[in-house]
Amino acid sequence: MSTQASDLFLYMSAFTFPNELHWVEFRLVHFDRKSGESAGEHLFFLPQVETATWNLRRVRGKLLDAIFGHEFGAIDISFRLSLWPRMEPLPHSTHLTLPSLVALPTKVSLDPMFFVHNILGNYK
């Protein structure tokens, strides 16, 4: 059985209690293995109001596209997926303004191996 978006929000709400969790930020960073430096990142968002509409499947698809859609040599690149609980409401516009890197919450990022190990289909 696959992790559902409602499971993800229930688990991540424990990190934000008593604040209300509005959305989850997925941050996929790829690194150059030789230098260890970040070679780029992709941001994806999962709003809580859309958890029943297969949006976790949509996010999984976008993550897989980001991993496999580049012209990278598999030997030279590694990835890190972090999930961040976000308490601020999503803006009601079609152009989402991304938060700056310095505005990230100080909470420890959620390790996908611990709870959402199958966020990418049995991610290991």
What's the pTM value of the predicted model, to 2 decimals? 0.62
Could you give the number of structural domains in the chain?
A: 1
- Inside any domain, residue 116: no
CA distance 22 to 39: 29
What are the tens digits of pLDDT across the range 4-26?
788 888 888 888 888 888 888 89
Q: What percent of the chain has pLDDT over 70?
A: 62
Q: What CATH number corresponds to the domain at position 72?
A: 3.10.50
- Inside any domain, residue 122: no
Domain that holds residue 85: 5-103
What are the tens digits of pLDDT across the range 38-91?
888 888 888 877 665 567 888 888 888 888 876 555 567 888 899 989 888 765
- Inside any domain, residue 71: yes
The pLDDT, as a whole number, for residue 16 is 84
Type and span of the H or E element at 77:
strand 77-86
Residues in CB range of 122: below 8 A, 6 or more apart: none
